[in-house]
Amino acid sequence: MTNTNNPTVTKLSTSSPLPKVFIGLPQWQHSHWPKTWFANYPKSDNQLVHYAKECNTVEGNTTFYSLPHSDAVSRWQQSVGSDFSFTFKFNQQITHVHQLLHCEDEVNEQLHMLAPLEHKLGVMLLQLPASFGPEKLERLAAFLHLLPQHITVAVEVRHLAFFGKGDEEKQLNQLLIEYNANRIIMDTRALFTGADTNSSDSALLREVRNKKPRVPVNVIATANNPVVRFVGNDNDEDNIACLTPWVNKIHQWRLEGKSPYFFCHRPDNKDAPWLAQQFIDLYNNKHGDAAIPNLAIKAQPSQNALF
């Protein structure tokens, strides 16, 4: 994991309460969770209510494909507590079809649709395709310039030039710093650790490996809400080895007054809560005086016993 943090660091007083860490998954419902993770909660058709008692953010992928109806947004707003932070992706028409050109109407429509979430809308995720290269940075600058100031944004790039530690990456990072935009860090090292086998689980692993980008893990906080998207595999040892470096980095960001977002993915995301708890265990064992709340599965039998 390459550290490219800004050289000037201001740390909070050791007596100050540290900013919170937002821990989340790529979805708030799964058909397996009522029997496992949410087993001790009352039965409900609205899993978001249970999820929001466990995690304080979620990676909202649904808006990438289509915009929600207003009644759905209202239901989401009412289902979570005041300290919950939704993150939603900008729609693919904005990022992949228009590639940030002539998309003001689409942006305004999406932000208007999500406005009822008010302060519960934490970060908007701008996921750009691999074809969005350094020659299009002016588009990104214009896009960020036009965003309302109350919108917190995080940008994910996939063009390899933005990971080469050269002028292209420096220009990107400087642009994000200028506009107070966070850089999303995609960590797929655990996902790509280990060889494939011929099992049915391995077929899913291969499918996920084909979909997820394999890019370097260049670590930088360009604003106050750095976003990490961590994609694990199905081997606990691999996951722990790749999670461990994030423990001190997340703590360092908190000491600097930043409030990071840490999203946990697994090949089958029914298992993602257990990956999140692995990270929480690692963090709390090292920094117990600034502990992150455990998930309910901490007090349940092991994952293997549940499935």
Question: What pLDDT is recorded for position 213?
Answer: 75
Give 307's pLDDT tier (boundaries 50, 70, 90).
Answer: very low
pTM: 0.91
Q: List, for residues 197-242, the tens digit of each pLDDT value.
A: 545 557 777 778 777 777 889 999 999 999 999 999 999 999 999 9
Average pLDDT of the chain, as a whole number: 91
Three-state SS letters, the chain: CEECCCCCCCCCCCCCCCCCCEEEECCCCCCCHHHCCCCCCCCCCCHHHHHHHHCCEEEECHHHHCCCCHHHHHHHHHHCCCCCEEEEECCHHHHHHCCCCCCHHHHHHHHHHHHHHHHHEEEEEEECCCCCCHHHHHHHHHHHHHCCCCCCEEEECCCHHHHCCCHHHHHHHHHHHHCCCEEEEEECCCCCCCCCCCCHHHHHHHHHHHHCCCCCCEECCCCCCCEEEEECCCCHHHHHHHHHHHHHHHHHHHHCCCCCEEEEECCCHHHHHHHHHHHHHHHHHHCHHHCCCCCHHHHCCCHHHHC
pLDDT exceeds cutoff 80 at 8: no
pLDDT tens figures, 248-269: 999 999 999 999 999 999 999 9
pLDDT in tens, 103-141: 999 999 999 999 999 999 999 999 999 999 999 999 999
Least confident of 20-24, 96-100, 106-110, 294-298: 294-298
Query: What local confidence, expressed as pLDDT, does residue 208 receive?
Result: 81
Domains defined along the chain, listed by start: 2-306 (3.20.20.410)
Given a cut of 70, is residue 1 above it in pLDDT?
no
pLDDT tens for 172-191 read 999 999 999 999 999 999 99
Q: Grade residue 96 by pLDDT with cuts at 50, 70 and 90.
A: very high
- Residue 209: per-residue pLDDT: 77
Q: What is the pLDDT of residue 306?
A: 43
